Amino acid sequence: MGDRPEDLLELALAIAREAAELVRTRREVGVEVAATKSSATDVVTEADRASETLILTRILAARPGDAVLGEEGSDTVGTSGVRWIVDPIDGTVNYFLGLPQYAVSIGVEVDGVVQVGVVVNAATGDEYSAVRGQGATRNGRPIAVREPRPLDRSVVSTGFNYELAVRERQAAAVAQLLVGVADIRRFGSCALDLCALASGQSDGYVEEGCMPWDDAAGGLIAQEAGAVVEVLVGASGRRLIVAAPAPSYPGFLGLVGSCGFTVDGR
């Protein structure tokens, strides 16, 4: 298989669909917690591991020279300049609880830049995808961010870290944010939050503690739909994702900084 973005997209979609079907099927027969990570509520299920194993196997069978980075431990070194960044289930707690907000997320870097993004909501079957410079789609139809609106009329999504010290800072920042916007949403999946922004279903997104596999695909999808997506340093020193439609991004970033999300207040 060649390195054309279209070829990489085709493969990523096929693999994500297969992994989503595995995840969905496993959910129907019951969810088994395999381990916890940063806290007792930061769970890993057997389906997370099975999904990542499937994705890794399919990628390396088709492209044995590629690198793969996955949430559940995959970190293979490649020789091709192509790296796959994988979250086998983004929204594992939702998956465990049966809430329909969990997804397979696959981003594909070429020479260090994400060129392809695929997010499949395993609960609903909705498929989001993008190729850099070619726009973004949902279920094959082009999508775009909402028209800019005043901050006090904006609906913003966010999320919370599993570590208590980080969560305390986030709670204080969100309390400030809540009085500056129309409303807050918390869905529990970074990838799907970014896809919601890309689809015009929210006006902004901010969260500290996201890892590269959380936002690699969703970030590109949001950018290709007309958003600015930045990775900054959060107040607790971790990766901070800030995203909003391009025209309203400067104002949203200013609000996020004034509320205490960023390390330097801006």
Domain 5-142: which CATH number of 3.30.540.10, 3.30.70.940, 3.40.1010.10, 3.20.20.70: 3.30.540.10
Q: What is the pLDDT of residues 23-79, one digit of tens each?
A: 998 886 665 665 444 444 444 678 888 899 999 999 999 999 999 998 877 788 889
Q: How confident is the model over 150-172, as a mean pLDDT?
A: 92
Question: What distance in Å separates the CA atoms of residue 5 and residue 132, rounded to the nearest whole number?
Answer: 8
Q: List Cβ neighbours of 263 (8 Å cut-off, separation of 6 or more).
A: 232, 233, 234, 235, 237
CATH class as words, domain 151-259: alpha beta
Closest to 189 in 3D by CA, of 215, 164, 169: 215
Closest to 110 in 3D by CA, of 57, 143, 66, 168: 66
Is 212 within 8 Å of 83 (Cβ atoms)?
A: no
Question: What distance in Å separates the CA atoms of residue 69 and residue 163, rounded to the nearest whole number?
Answer: 23
Q: What is the pLDDT of residues 176-219, one digit of tens each?
A: 999 999 999 999 999 999 999 999 999 999 999 999 999 999 99
Entry pTM: 0.93
Q: What is the pLDDT of residues 230-257, one digit of tens each?
A: 999 999 999 999 999 999 999 999 999 9
Say how many C-beta atoms besides its own lie within 10 A of residue 59's C-beta: 25
Q: pLDDT value at position 36?
A: 47
Mean of the per-residue pLDDT values of the chain:
91
Domain definitions of the chain by residue range: 5-142, 151-259
Q: What is the pLDDT of residues 76-113, one digit of tens each?
A: 888 999 999 999 999 988 998 899 999 999 999 999 99
Residue 156: both structure tokens together: 């913003």
What are the helix (H) ranges across 134-211? Answer: 164-178, 190-198
Q: How confident is the model over 9-29, as a mean pLDDT?
A: 92
- Classify 229 as helix, strand or coil: strand
